[in-house]
Structure 1
């Protein structure tokens, strides 16, 4: 296997922190150098979010994190806490080997484009109706939506941006790299391994774990269906597995054995959840939603307001006080878990088209956030959102440590 020349103890030293708790990467703002540094300083580990950022922006974040941690050059000796971190990268469709050939035909691309165009028309019609009511009250008009051409990704550009990220990883000697949203070719894992960088990948079931290891993944992040934000299925059109995470972990362990480092993620809100996942076969546990209300997180004002309402029981909770969440494609075209708002309920048939829908709805979501309309903003959250606390990241780590 391509990553075999990186000793298991190197991978584990960088990936598995003393507290057994990692800050999961949260793209779009919540993940910051300050958050990862605070979690590492508290005995945990974490990942910066490279998704939705350019390579230049990620380089700046890496430099900032290293400054906060006091250095750490990412050398093969991974015992230093200053190296207990990594960068998570999205795998664009252009380099995702898990996408079936049938989905890359001209016919399939035309059908996808037509589905995006139809979705755009539905959104535009809704905007016009809403603007008509707003105009009667003296408000502004409907936002202009980008055209299908504007949101269709350019494969050449996707490949170039992905290559720039890999170059940044090598040149800055990132201690760890994790991939999500797809499966890069084996040469990518081999390239990073040759640079002394263990590379892992998010998987959601045993079959994906098997494929990831066959391509050279040095570690796995097993994501359960209770996780907030996007599901990391390797095939973006696949429906997520809904088995409970301990069961998925057992199936993954049966496929990859006991030596492969495995991180569990999804629905983690208390130390009891961490203990149960460690007992089920994980080496460490990643949490995301639990950190959204920390001062160190870059959570947007609207997102923070939604999580706060859930955590205080003022909204987005059921009769039992637990968070009400749903899986939806409505915001981005990829399955993602959000607090249950009106927008996903209005669009249960959104097409599987990321990043097209993400670009299509960006303006709508920004306008809703500015207006404080939480029913139309994406409020990514796991099923334990009601347990989120407004506390320092170190306190959250302490509360999750088994």
Structure 2
């Protein structure tokens, strides 16, 4: 009964040996409160490239086109750290591995907690690019104004380009002539085009934006005295599909596990003028943006005799691409540990009883057998000391 009671006590002590993977949010400019593996959650950034090109100097006309490129960047407001000490205890051996993208956002993480409870109790446990999308289309012409408003260099470049286009399309021209025509077109476009890039990081509740080519920007093409005849060219930008509400992370999951943010599909659209139902679309890009997604947590918890592990891979935009979770059955380990513990406890009880019997026998036999009895007594006490040592190892002391 004492052996059973001791075993129950040992297992009761282990019931508190439950560990969990945790994280902490790191404020901007601060350091984690404990050493650990830190990472950022991503958000999407868009580069809007707008090209304005003069196509007519008689009725001053500008063609507008646009492209959209996107990339994932680190969201400095979403900085997290997984403490090294997480999942660690005297009863666990923990392994944490993580890799980051070059922008500091989380790429992969693997965590395993190997239980040592059964080993202590007599058993053995073992467990286990930046993708850029480009889209472009559409032509927008500014309202024509009377007369020829181009300056001489622009006028000459347009004449040369139009002639070179005809040569390029002329089937009678040889390859050398076509190559020469292509070179003329490229050179002419340096004069005829204005290219501007706008960086756009969408946020919740953003209103449609607009970029404007002002009068002063036409100085490359038009004499200053003719600016008054021109109208600004407006390029609109709109984000479609952003959620109106994003649920908060449940309180019970805060600071427990690996936190990430599921990106949501949105569409970024570039328009001729302010974006509306009637405006012409110059470029449109469907994308997944994490800054509009809800927070999620994947927990990892290990109780006594458990050896669980996770392996996660996240996309550049922050979504969970692959995930593996493993849990080793603990019943066999418990049974083996219980058997080993019972044997150790029974051995201690037997050795203690034997030591007492030898001590009584020594007192009865008196001086005649004192030398022999003393030797036996020393041997019995030595065995008792060894049994105590094993019991101390069992209890973790």
- When normalised by structure 1's length, the TM-score is 0.18
Determine which structure has the larger strand proportion and give its number: 2
- When normalised by structure 2's length, the TM-score is 0.18
Considering only CA atoms, is the larger Rg found in Structure 1 or Structure 2?
2
